[in-house]
Amino acid sequence: MTDVNYITKEDFEKLQAEVRELKTNGRREAAIAIAEAREKGDLSENAEYDAAKDAQGMLELKINELELAIAKSKIIDVSDLDLSKVTVLSKVTIKNIKNGQIMKMHLVAESTSDAKNGKISVSSPVGKGLLGHEVGQVAKIQTPGGIIEFEIMDISI
């Protein structure tokens, strides 16, 4: 285990619940789909069977990924966070220096990132680039499209 997965207690419990759901209902549904496809005849020419087996493999992969994320998790109490600089679980308001666009981001562990809802992974280029900066500082972040400068406007929980 190389990387620590810093998460809140609530996110940790969500990961555990998702694993339980996939291990029980997910596996049961996969087994039913395989059994139904098997009943349709010759397995060597049964695309439905192959698809069901592939789905089962993807399910097991997802379970393994979630279990690894849980094993690497360290629960953080957000009330203990240092708000003087950007850290894991910080909510950060930043301004793109070039175009003036203001964005709000919540820096989270990769296992709980959700870009659509403003939750970006601390292991992403932007997440890594913001870590350790204080309000008023400019973070120069190397992205695939070049260097982008962001001014740290606010840090909260």
Query: For 8-27, how does the pLDDT look when each residue is reduced to its tens digit (9 = 90+)?
Result: 888 899 999 999 999 999 99
Bridge partners for 91 per DSSP: 106, 156
Listed in sequence order, the DSSP H helices in 1-152 are 9-21, 27-38, 47-71, 125-130
Element housing 145 (H / E): none
CA distance linking residue 26 with residue 28, whole number of Å: 5
**pTM for the full model?**
0.68
Nearest Cα to Cα of residue 12 among 62, 69, 59: 69
For residue 77, the 8-state DSSP code is: -
CATH code that applies to domain 5-75? 1.10.287.180
Task: Specify the CATH number of the domain 78-156.
Answer: 3.10.50.30
> What was the pLDDT predicted at 5?
81
Q: How confident is the model at residue 153 (pLDDT cuts 50, 70, 90)?
A: very high
Name the residue ranges covered by the structural domains of the chain: 5-75, 78-156
pLDDT digits (tens, 9 = 90+) for 37-50: 888 877 677 788 88
| Mean pLDDT computed over 117-128 | 89
The one-letter amino acid at 148 = I
- The Cα 41–Cα 60 span in angstroms is 25
Q: Supply the pLDDT for residue 151.
A: 95
